[in-house]
Structure 1
Amino acid sequence: MEAKEYLSQAFRLDNRINSKIDQIALLNDLATKCTSRLTGMPHNPSPGNSQMADAIAKIVDLEAEINRDIDALVDIKCDLVKTIKAVNDIDCQLLLEERYLCYKSWEQIAVEMDFRVRHVYEVHNDALKKVEKILSAQ
């Protein structure tokens, strides 16, 4: 696995978690929109499939999936922190933390580090080379 791909895995997993949270919100909306029809005709008191029950089952499954993903995200971030701390340059460490743990944009990082954006890219390239060496040594 390349350094950039290795460092980006937390961001991708975090996006997947957020997507699942959005799905839960949509399912909650669907479950609360369920309505019953009122007619004078007799009906089966326990219909085979309930839209609300299906939505609730999907919500429970997604919540369990999210919990597993959050556990994986915490593990990945802990691993990333160890790798970033192994980099022997403070500027590289700070840039890697801001970009891959806090998900900040290049412009935000440049402002916080008081660098030009172009210099941030140069430090990033240097940091990736250092991470590659750390990963290849493991």
Structure 2
Amino acid sequence: MSKAKKDYLKQIENMDLYIQQLISEVEELRSLSQSVSSVQYGEQHIKSGSQKNEAPFVNYLFKINELEIKINQEIDKFVDLKTVIISAIDELDDLEERILLRAKYISRKSWDDIFEQLNRSRSATYRVHASALEHFKIPTKVEMKRD
């Protein structure tokens, strides 16, 4: 069960990475759209009778727009998920467990930073983490929609 809880908590990191990848794709498309050559009216193009006279960068602009819409949708999902997870973490009775889960899964701090923040040894911190995961409850769909 602990693995399922870790996976649930890691959704924030995974969604954030996915959004960052989408943003990188937009930046790459923007770069490509600015380096595309002008419309070519070669003999083959004229013979085919094609009426498509759009500059090649127009396609990139449409793709950029679609990706930006998707990014905004993913950001909305990310914010909703993060809010639900923070609320679930805040349900824990033990303050140290809440601090640890927030540091690890919300702030995405390294274990070394968490050891220092909690002023505990590595093994003691891992015990707090195991206890926090044991006490953590994955919200049900009904609980998520109540908020």
Q: Under a length normalisation based on structure 2, what TM-score does the superposition of the two structures give?
A: 0.80
SS, match of residue 10 in structure 2: helix
Instruction: Give the distance between the partners of 1:3 and 1:117, measured in 2 at CA.
Output: 21
1:108 maps onto 2:110 in alignment: no
Instruction: Name the amino acid aligned to 2:26.
Output: I
1:66 maps onto 2:71 in alignment? yes
Distance 1:25 1:40, change over 3 A: closer
- Aligned amino acid, residue 87 of structure 2: K
Where do 4+ consecutive residues of structure 1 move more than 3 Å?
A: 37-41, 46-50, 135-138
CA distance in 2, matches of 1:58, 1:48: 18
Q: Deviations over 1:5-50 (max 9, x none)?
A: 1111111101100010011110110001012278898x86x64564
Give me the CA root mean square deviation. 2.7
Q: Which runs of no fewer than 5 residues in structure 2 stay unpaired?
A: none
Secondary structure of 1:30's counterpart equals helix
Structure 1: any 5+ residue segments left out of the alignment? Answer: none
Select between 115-124 and 52-61 the one with higher mean Cα deviation.
115-124
1:88 aligns with 2:90: no
1:15 partner letter: L
Q: Are residues 1:15 and 2:17 paired?
A: yes
2:84 equivalent among 79, 82, 86: 79
Aligned identity (percent) is 28
Corresponding residue to 1:56 among 61, 81, 104: 61
What is the distance in 1 between the residues matched to 2:86 and 2:42? Answer: 65
Deviations for 1:74-120, whole angstroms, at most 9, x for unmatched residues? Answer: 11111011110111111100010011111111111112222223322
The count of residues paired between Structure 1 and Structure 2 equals 135
Helix, strand or coil: the match of 2:36?
A: coil
Which deviations, in whole Å up to 9, do the C-alpha atoms of 1:41-75 show, x marking residues without a partner? 8x86x645643111111111111011011100111
Aligned partner letter, 1:135: I
Partners in 2 of 1:79 and 1:114 — Cα distance? 28
